[in-house]
């Protein structure tokens, strides 16, 4: 232990501004990776890998184990090649977001805003009517992340969105009612799409235990993309919304529309004020 402390003291004595810059760059890269994979299943995996690596490094530095150290040095190249395979979806989404970084800085498009307002009103109206009839529904609103791989699993539509069309799609015993509708702008891109199921366990811990595959699919698509998913329960008619691996439940048509407007609003202060007003338990007061 004393030898380890002396080595650390020796390192700090030799540390200069260039070394500090080097450490800060490494910390920035690690923070960026963790930020890009936040709210995904890869976060838990990455934390586990980092914990094992740090624990192993500390253990091997305290105790001299030649065979174990040789095994680690031999397995390290394989781990380097395995990381891109394990985190392939997250890396792809990160590169897509970097490639579309310029779109975040563009001035708002009036036509796009009008189309989004039209889509939000149609989704809110259709959800309320589907809820009253207890028709199950899953509507996924595409944002910046492309959903092409999920759209290909459904039936191509390319139709103007309307409450009547959404109600017809999710009417029981129709060919397209089983699956998700993907909406982009004011267009329904596809119906009967297959969404990834969430394995986070949030639904299993819910008190009611009345949420099934539609809610798992809504959480799943919100975990792997920035899409917003609206769910109508077939059993209870309850309306829920999923985003970033979290779900807001028991919404009526007005609250659903307000939440969607808040998600798509370019004014961040409006979004924060809305959620602080509607969901104060998510924003506990700060201690003065």
Say which CATH topology domain 110-281 has. Answer: YojJ-like (1 (3.40.1700)
pLDDT at 268: 45
pLDDT at 158: 92
Mean pLDDT in each 10-residue stretch from start to end of the chain (288 residues)?
64 71 81 65 65 71 70 71 68 61 48 78 94 94 87 93 94 90 93 86 56 86 88 91 87 89 62 50 50
Task: Round to whole Å and give the CA distance between 19 and 13.
Answer: 11
Distance (Å) of CA 258 to CA 45, 166, 253: 35, 20, 9
Beta-carbon contacts of 260 under 8 Å, excluding residues fewer than 6 positions away, are 120, 123, 124, 141, 228, 230, 241
pLDDT at 181: 96
**Burial code of 152-164, b = ≥16 C-beta within 10 A, e = fewer?**
eebeebeeebbbe
pLDDT at 17: 75
pLDDT at 228: 93
Two structure tokens written together for 177? 């009612």
Task: Round to whole Å and give the CA distance between 86 and 91.
Answer: 10
CATH 3.40.1700.10 domain extents, the chain? 110-281
pLDDT at 171: 93
pTM score above 0.85 = no
Beta-carbon contacts of 116 under 8 Å, excluding residues fewer than 6 positions away, are 185, 186, 264
Q: Which residue has the tokens 């796009």?
A: 112
pLDDT at 266: 46
pLDDT at 193: 95
pLDDT at 274: 47
């Amino acid at each position: 232990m004393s030898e380890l402390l002396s080595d650390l003291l020796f390192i700090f004595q030799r540390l200069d501004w260039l070394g500090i810059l080097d450490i800060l760059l490494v910390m920035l890269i690690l923070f960026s990776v963790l930020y890009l994979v936040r709210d995904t299943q890869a976060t838990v995996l990455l934390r586990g890998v980092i914990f094992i690596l740090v624990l192993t490094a500390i253990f091997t530095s305290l105790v001299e184990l030649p065979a174990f150290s040789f095994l680690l040095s031999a397995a390290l190249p394989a781990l380097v090649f395995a990381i891109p395979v394990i985190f392939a979806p997250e890396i792809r989404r990160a590169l897509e977001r970097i490639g579309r970084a310029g779109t975040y800085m563009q001035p708002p498009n009036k036509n796009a805003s009008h189309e989004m307002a039209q889509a939000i009103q149609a989704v809110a109206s259709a959800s309320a009517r589907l809820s009253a009839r207890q028709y199950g529904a899953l509507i996924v609103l595409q944002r910046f992340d492309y959903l092409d791989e999920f759209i290909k699993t459904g039936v191509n539509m390319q139709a103007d969105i309307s409450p009547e069309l959404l109600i017809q799609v999710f009417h029981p015993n129709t060919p397209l009612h089983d699956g998700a509708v993907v909406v982009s702008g004011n267009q329904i891109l596809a119906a009967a799409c297959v969404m990834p199921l969430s394995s986070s366990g949030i639904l299993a811990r819910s008190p009611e235990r009345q949420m099934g595959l539609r809610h798992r699919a809504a959480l799943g698509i919100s975990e792997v993309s920035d899409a917003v998913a609206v769910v109508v329960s077939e059993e209870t008619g309850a309306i829920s919304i999923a985003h970033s691996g979290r779900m807001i439940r028991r919404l009526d048509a007005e609250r659903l529309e307000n939440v969607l407007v808040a998600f798509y609003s370019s004014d961040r202060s409006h979004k924060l004020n809305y959620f602080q007003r509607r969901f104060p338990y998510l924003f506990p007061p700060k201690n003065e």
